Structure 1
Amino acid sequence: MLMLRYFCRFAALTLCLLLLKDDVHAQDVYAAWRSDWLKKAESYKPSLKETVKNPVGIVKIEKDASAFQGFKAVPAGSIAKLYNVTFNKNTSGTVVDFGEHLTGYCTITLKTRRNVMDAPLRLKLTFGEVPAEIATPFDPYPGSLSRAWLQDETVTVTVLPATITIPRRVAFRYLKIDWLGSSPGFEFGITGISVKATTSAKQTPPALAGSTPVIIKDIDRVGLNTLKECMQTVYEDGPKRDRRLWIGDTYLESLANSWSFHNDSLTKHCLYLLAGLANEDGILSADVFEAPVPQSHKTHLLDYCYLYNLALKEYVAATGDKQTGLDLWPVAKKQLDIARKYALPDGMMDYEKANREWWVFFDWKDGLDKQAPLQGITIFTLNQTYELAKMLGKQHEVADLPAFARKLKDAARKNMYDKQSGLFVSGKNKQVSYAGQAWMILAGVATKSEAQRALTALPTLNDAVRPGAPYMEHYYIAALIAAGLNIEAKQAVIDYWGAMVKKGADTFWEVYDPADEFKSPYGFFPVNSYCHAWSCTPVYFIRKYPDIFQR
């Protein structure tokens, strides 16, 4: 009888465990697809093109109030000048210029010039994307991000000759070499420096029309360099810092890629990877890592979830690859739950609740009220996801989207459009912002004439909240084009990205505020990324709209 009782308890426990196991799997809405998505992500992972690059000369970093962030690089001799002299405390602080932004692995070759090396040799290497990064002391470090993102390395060598490859991948143009110590009387020299540069961009984009203005050609060239550097095995947001896959950057990079390098496998790799690493409730993580194994960061960023749908739709439209669209349709469809959760009965999005429960981003801009942008991007996403559904023959699964989008659109017009000023307002304080106008116009809330009136008025308003980074500037340009303000769109690209070119940009920057060159979301401008994915999109505009930009 006792054995029977134990057997019954064991059977009951086993049944509970089996039920619990089934319940766990039931909670993962992607359990049936996740493994396949990750396998496909791996199969589309691009190989990297490796190119050996050598420095072009030596420079001095000098103060110049008219230069970007107050410093400029001035030629100071050929690279042979470095290779043919003894390196010691008198040559410490030498800055090598590679002539272009590179992402890769740096190798330095050293040899003895005189006497015996009877003590270790120690050097400090500082890699910088812009001159001010080389000139600004990193310590004491005041930033909010990890100090380790700053690219300085200490190298200790015990035997010469030696060829040393820095294990860490770096992203830079300038390399400063400081002598930290060696034995008295011992002399050594640097005989070679090179970088094995990497990118997954392999095709050469077609040339622009001969009629293209020089400044537009320069903007396109720097944009292509930015995109190329960020195209590693994923669309990295920045090859110097973060070095991971974010949905928002993926959307913008994939747009530019579709009109330039056509590296479609990279886009597929990223879309499948994001899907395979989504949360078990079906909602996407905003960013993911590939190493040491694919894993998500569990970052909840509301507008980025929407942008996944836009990226998938644009990919299918650009390539005709419906199979990828069908594979990933469950993910796009699931992100719509966000809109349904926060839509109030009157058609307004519950911004206050969403902002409590999510990171609602839109821009690096303090004080930006995000009610209007949220309403706009939700409408835009509903419409674009329905277009994707029609491409895939899935519109019957989301038949409610057109009516849902119209309800939100009507609510936006009723509650956010100021007929007297012709502008969209956001929040309790009726804030007017570039972000609010852009997303309302892209969502189709404004008529074409209303859109033109709003966008024309914006630059005349001193209190309108301007974009804080190239990321939001992209959507402003897109809104100008949607409104038919083509001349204004072209001039806005020239004024914003062209200003970075004129200030010496090799690649476009994560943050650029013409009124504050030292602006940093992280409390220390050297930790900013000066080659950043979301800044590359002039490539998309210039090449998609040649009648606007190539004349």
Structure 2
Amino acid sequence: MVKNLKLLDKALQLLPEVKETVVEPLDIAAFLKPLKKGDSVEIDFGRHLVGHIKLKLGYVRSHPDAPVWLRFSFAENKKEFEERVEDYQGWICSAWVQQEQVHIDLVPGEYFLPRRYSFRYVKIEVLDVSSKFDLIIEEAKAVALSSADDSRLSAYHSENKELEQLDRIACNTLHDCMQKVFEDGPKRDQRLWMGDLRLQALANYETYQMNDMVKGCLYLFGALPMENGQVGACVFLDPEPEVDDTSMFDYSLLYVVALWDYYKQTKDKEALRDLWETARTQISLAQKRVDNGIVRDRDVLGWCFLDWSLELNKQAGAQGVLLYAMQSAIAIAQELRENRDAECLKGTYEVYRKAAKAYFYDEKKGLFVSGENRQISYASQVWLILGGVVDSEEGLRILHNVAADREALEMVTPYMYHYYIEALLKCNADEEALAVLTEYWGGMARLGADTFWELYNPKNPDESPYGGTIVNSYCHAWSCAPAYFLRKYFGEN
């Protein structure tokens, strides 16, 4: 495995400390009752949090003469309590379900669950207890974990109170995903993904401004490439830093964009120089998948992400992501005065851009199509617009055309909606962008979200890409877009 120890050492020194905060339940009286076999209690901590739970246990009647057997279930969303793990038949590992069975030998006493959970609600079921005594939960506390520095977060102000609510939920989402690294989801997958990092970093610049944390994560990806130099889709931090064996065409390219975003925010030229070779390599590797200016289509599952949809053809979107990343690569090369690289990239970009317009654009439909079946999707339009294939005026016409096309494949993740809003803003459609943000993220808020979700399909809110909502993540990094867009483009801030 390839490891750049110099970059890795820099990365680890930049990562923040995780801080602890004790959180009390909303209603202590709700669980202060004697519990027999088969009884249960639900504890609401009032907000989403990531961390541990501590209990103080007591008893009534006779002295305890046997262990207590308990089942703990943790939920970010109460819906998780409605599914039984035994009934889950999805393709992702059921070990992600936040359930534990424990035997507690000594009562009275205190008990600390060592695993980290992501939750607002905790359900405690008494699977068995001696008939000679009843169990009492005298005290329950959560130890919440986050590296986010709340003192750096200023309030967002708007005359529209719904926008303030969306910003608050988005900040909560980012806050709980900020652990030692920017995790994609603190329930699942608990690691650093490149696609998520780019969006988290943007939100961070407008909120917590913990830019060294962004820098450390960029260095981690740079230090831990795959064997061919490609930035992996995600990296693990523990038990030791290591890249996953998963790669995605678009995620690798977004490393280039995230690096340029970071430089624009910080003017950190040392980091730009340190990581330029990694960024340049992503463009070079992507170009190996290009024939006659067009990214080759593939039928390999997961070769390019774009959105959680097995139906989505990725070819046109992949072309757009490549062009989008090349724009950032050109800017980096110019900033570093790597003039030969800059000129070469500019020339190649123009070839790919013109090829994309000729190959993917359907004049009759006024839309981009993708793949041999000429599929029409939001993702294809968005990414080719962001890639600069058309100007803002034509781009807006295309976005209006796809919205009017009932057969167009729609978006299902906040991740893809983020880029849809970015495309609307690029096309100077600020009011439309705000309306989309308010309607989409507002839909989650109206369903009671106190952090934003991994996947939300307004037409099917219970949709899961995994085969069961019990493994869905209801606090997911790529959904913190409102904090970025509202603070940067809308409102007094």
Same fold, judged at TM 0.5 (above): yes
Deviation at 1:474, TM superposition (A): 0.7
Q: CA deviation at 1:356?
A: 4.2
**CA distance in structure 2 between the partners assigned to 1:281 and 1:81 by the alignment:** 56
Alpha-carbon distance between aligned partners in 1 of 2:302 and 2:82, rounded to the nearest angstrom? 38
Q: Which residue does 2:397 correspond to in 1?
A: 453
Q: Which residue of 2 aligns with 1:475?
A: 419
Residues 134 and 174 of structure 1 are in contact (CA less than 8 Å); yes or no, is this contact kept in structure 2? no
Q: Provide the secondary structure at the position in 1 that maps to 2:188.
A: coil
SS of the residue 1:189 aligns to: strand
> What letter matches 2:271 in structure 1?
T
| Contact map agreement 1:114 1:188 (CA 8 A) in 2 | no
Counterpart residue identity of residue 297, structure 2: Y
Residue 51, structure 1, aligned to residue 21, structure 2:
yes
What residue number does 2:169 align with? 222
CA distance in 1, matches of 2:92, 2:356: 37
Aligned residues with identical type, % of pairs? 39
Superposed CA offset, 1:454-512 (max 9, x none): 11122221101111211111111100000111111000001100110111001000010
**Counterpart position of 1:37:** 7
**Which residue number corresponds to residue 116 of structure 2?**
169
* Structure 2 CA distance for aligned equivalents of residues 172 and 204 of structure 1: 24
Find 2:347's aligned residue among 396, 400, 403.
Answer: 403
The residue number in structure 2 matching 1:347 is 293
- Describe the shift of the 1:533–1:358 C-alpha distance in structure 2 as closer, same or farther (beyond 3 A): closer
CA distance in 2, matches of 1:197, 1:316: 32
Q: 1:491 to 1:195 in 2, by over 3 A?
A: same
Q: CA deviation at 1:537?
A: 1.2
1:99 corresponds, among 43, 46, 50, to 46
Q: Unaligned regions of 5+ residues in structure 2, if any?
A: none
- CA apart distance, 1:140: 2.7
In the TM superposition, residue 262 of structure 1 has moved relative to its aligned partner by 0.3
* Alpha-carbon distance between aligned partners in 2 of 1:543 and 1:419, rounded to the nearest angstrom: 37
Matches of 1:189 and 1:340 in 2, distance apart?
64
Moved more, 202-211 or 136-145: 202-211
1:423 Cα deviation after fit: 1.2
Match of 1:253 among 183, 200, 204: 200
What is the alpha-carbon distance in structure 2 between the residues aligned to residue 457 and residue 281 of structure 1?
A: 40
Deviation by residue 1:14-54 (Cα, 9 ceiling, x = unmatched): xxxxxxxxxxxxxx8x77xx111111111011001211001
Work out whether 1:122 is the aligned partner of 2:66. no
Kindly indicate whether the alpha-carbon contact (under 8 Å) linking 2:63 and 2:133 is maintained by their aligned counterparts in 1. Answer: yes
Deviation track 1:124-162 (CA, whole Å, cap 9, x = no partner) reads 110001111022222132121111110011121111122
Do structure 1's residue 417 and structure 2's residue 361 form an aligned pair? yes
Q: 1:280, 1:319 → 2: CA distance?
A: 30
Take 2:280 and 2:403, find their aligned partners in 1: how far apart are those partners? 38
1:80 counterpart (15, 19, 29): 29
- Letter of the structure 2 residue corresponding to residue 536 of structure 1: C
Residue 550 of structure 1 deviates from its aligned partner by 5.7
Which stretch shifts more, 292-301 or 491-500? 292-301
Residues 1:319 and 2:319 are matched in the alignment? no
Structure 2 Cα separation of the partners of residues 255 and 237 of structure 1: 14
Matched, 1:392 2:392: no
What is the letter of the counterpart of residue 293 of structure 2?
Answer: G
Query: Is 1:205 aligned with 2:175?
Result: no
- The change in CA–CA distance for 1:247 and 1:330 in structure 2 (over 3 A counts) is same
Q: Return the alpha-carbon distance in structure 1 between the equivalents of residues 328 and 266 of structure 2.
A: 16
Q: 1: distance between equivalents of 2:421 and 2:344?
A: 30
Q: Distance in 1 between matches of 2:88 and 2:326?
A: 44
Q: 2:139 aligns with which of 192, 196, 200?
A: 192
Distance across 2 between alignment mates of 1:81 and 1:132 = 20
Separation of aligned partners in 1, 2:147 and 2:54? 21
Residue in structure 2 matched with residue 530 of structure 1 by the alignment: 474
1:240 is aligned to 2:240? no
Q: Provide the rounded CA distance (Å) in 2 between the counterparts of 1:128 and 1:167.
A: 17
Label 1:249 to 1:395 Cα distance change in 2 as closer, same or farther (>3 A): farther
Which of 355-364 and 121-130 deviates more?
355-364
Counterpart CA distance in 2 for 1:176 and 1:261 is 32
Q: Within 1, Cα distance between the matches of 2:314 and 2:227?
A: 28
2:157–2:164 CA contact under 8 A, matched in 1:
no
1:357 deviation in Å? 9.3
Paired residue type of 1:262: Q
Q: Distance in 2 between matches of 1:37 and 1:512?
A: 37
Check the 8 A contact 1:216/1:550 in 2, yes or no.
Answer: no
State the distance in 2 between where 1:423 and 1:497 align: 26
CA shift, 1:413, in A, is 1.1
Alignment of 1:133-152 (within 5 A): 133-152=80-99
Contact 2:248 2:302 (8 Å CA) reproduced: yes
C-alpha distance in structure 2 between counterparts of 1:342 and 1:366, whole Å = 21
Separation in 1 of the partners of 2:485 and 2:477? 15
Give how far 1:358 is off.
6.5
RMSD: 1.6
Cα-to-partner distance string for 1:341-372 (whole Å, 9 max, x where unaligned): 1121x3111123xx549721111012111111
TM superposition shift of 1:421:
2.5
Say if 2:222 is the partner of 1:275: yes
Matched ranges for 1:427-442 at <5 A: 427-442=371-386
Cα distance per residue 1:212-247 (max 9 Å; x no partner): x11111111100000000010011000001101110
Tell me the equivalent position of 2:107.
Answer: 160
Equivalent residue, structure 2, for 1:4: none
Give yes or no for contact 1:386–1:395 (8 Å, CA) kept in 2. no
Larger Rg: 1
Following the alignment from structure 1 to structure 2, what is the Cα–Cα distance between the partners of residues 81 and 541? 40
- Which residue of the other structure, out of 423, 438, 455, is the alignment partner of 1:494? 438
Match of 2:55 in 1: 108
What TM-score do the two structures reach when normalised by structure 2?
0.97
- Of the structure 1 ranges 395-404 and 237-246, higher mean CA displacement relative to structure 2 is found in 395-404
Q: How many Å separate the matches in 1 of 2:178 and 2:338?
A: 32
Aligned to 1:13: none
Amino acid at match of 1:450: E
Q: Distance in 2 between matches of 1:259 and 1:210?
A: 15
Are the counterparts in 1 of residues 37 and 129 from structure 2 also a CA contact under 8 Å?
A: no
